[in-house]
Chains A and B, each alone.
Chain A
Amino acid sequence: MRRLIPLAITFVVGTVLIVSVFTPPLENIERTFTLFFDIIAVFAFFLGGGNLLRVHISKLRRRKQDWGFSVVTIVGFLGMLMIGLFKLGGSGNIAAPVDETGSLFYIIFDAVLVPLQSTMYSLLAFFVASASYRAFRAKNREATLLLIAAFVILLGRTPFGTMVSGWIPEWLSIAQIPNLAIWIMNSPNLAGQRAILIGIGLGVISMSLRLILGIERSYLGDDNA
């Protein structure tokens, strides 16, 4: 029973959603189920947030290495929670959206989260460089093509692309680096993307069917027995 009911739920819910695509009276069920999901996610947050607190409090209790930082996390989490749930330090209007401009919640978001987000994001610039240094080596045929394509595009995005290939005559303008870069983006790149997208579509269909039909049930605690 413990296994049968979840499998039945998955089967029924999945089938209804597939059928709804072809049945106008069921069209809105997709929206309803998405709403359910959003509501379940809020409840799940008790588990997630609770886990976050538990992990850091136990670090603090046992005075594990770096427990001081756990205090910072706990204070930050609970502080933000209080400010947001009780709408502290805003216009005092309880009906106003929690993130209205000028509210304490918004100010903290702006002063703390925005710089942290954009800096973390900008780390990519460094990692893009280190990855290309390591990965773009002509080890074999595949790697060589990867390298050449990346190099042409890189060159095409700088003024040097025009400089290096400016001598190529007009009738062979396709070979000028900036044009070549655009051609690669629009032709072989498009072909590769399309093959990947079609493959993904088929992969999703097959996996969804396995889940809905209960062939794949590893997530339910059944090792395909």
Chain B
Amino acid sequence: MPDLGIVLSLLVIGVGLLWLLIRSLRGQEVERRVIFVFILVAVAAPILFPVTFQEHATPVVKRLFDFIDSLPAGSVVLVSLDYDPAMAPEVQPMTNAMSRHCLTKGHKIVFMGLWATGQSILMSTLQDIILPDFPNIVEGKDFVNVGYKAGNEGVLNVIVTDFKKMFPTDVNGTPLDSTPIMADIRSCRDFDLILSIGGGRPGAKEWVLFVGDPGNVPIGVGVAAVTAPQMYPYYPQQLVGILGGVKGAAEYESELAHRYPRFAHTDQPGLRMMGPQTLAHVVIMAFIVIGNLAFFRGKKVRRT
């Protein structure tokens, strides 16, 4: 049934574009509203009838994946969720995929956040992703949630030398010194990897400047597409890898599903969103091509 739906929508879009092409070649301009309808259909159809495309991890993503994959079991990874609900659709898939990957490999995760508006996300990530998929893991031993602390870069400045000064307890009030994960962790330098996921400020860039560089800790980031170009200058020296936008998430998810088939059937929001994303891109590119064909056609007609 979904297959039929998507075939139908693709057909509608295809025929529509063809109709537009013919119209344009005859010299009739396309109205804005028509373009709007096309975008709406291109985005809505693949959400209703999910389509997924094959994704291959590009080097920036693959390097981070391989790094996590090659850490010995029992390594401690700090995952910082630096975003709010508005940004979540784009970057939450990265948090899910990377957390799953770490836990599968037997790494321990410390969750934290720098955004006041992101506190609820920390909770729901744990409730909805960690616990259902990994029934056997134990809080305090396999993961710990230290929550949010106000202070932006100031927080980073402190935890790079003394983690427990900023986070003496986890969100439940358990002293970190009494948890097996945190017993040996004094500062950010003691983590085997830090993952910052977000797209605003404070975020990936601040982690690199305030923690990665002074503390000499490997850092991997997942950022919104708009922020990604600003992160490229830090790769590969200061960053292990970058997941940029939904595409980055999708690449990571497909790599994860490829290496660990048990995840092939979990929800892959990144790959799921790539459907509408790709279709919308294709429609825009088709419009550009049609616009240019019409333009050249018009020029020729005028000349003769």
Contact = CB atoms under 8 A, between A and B. Distances in A.
Nearest to A125: B39
Contacts of B291: 133-134, 136-137
B86 A118 contact: yes
Interface residues of B, number: 37
Interface string B79-112: 0000001100000000000000000000000000
A178 B54 contact: no
A69 interface: no
Nearest to B246: A157
A159 B55 contact: yes
A160 interface: yes
A155 B290 CA distance: 16
Interface in A109-155: 114, 117-118, 125-126, 128-130, 132-134, 136-139, 147, 150-151, 154-155
Nearest to B53: A159
B54 A147 contact: no
B192 to A, nearest CB: 28
Given A130-B36, A136-B291, A138-B292, A125 B280 contact: yes
Given A129-B287, A151-B288, A178 B32 contact: no
Interface residues of A, number: 30
B15 interface: no
A118 B86 CA distance: 7
Given A138-B292, A178-B58, A126 B282 contact: no
Given A134-B291, A154-B285, A185-B229, A126 B278 contact: no
Interface of B: 30, 32, 35-36, 38-40, 43, 53-56, 58, 85-86, 225, 229, 232-233, 245, 247, 274, 277-278, 280-285, 287-288, 290-292, 295-296
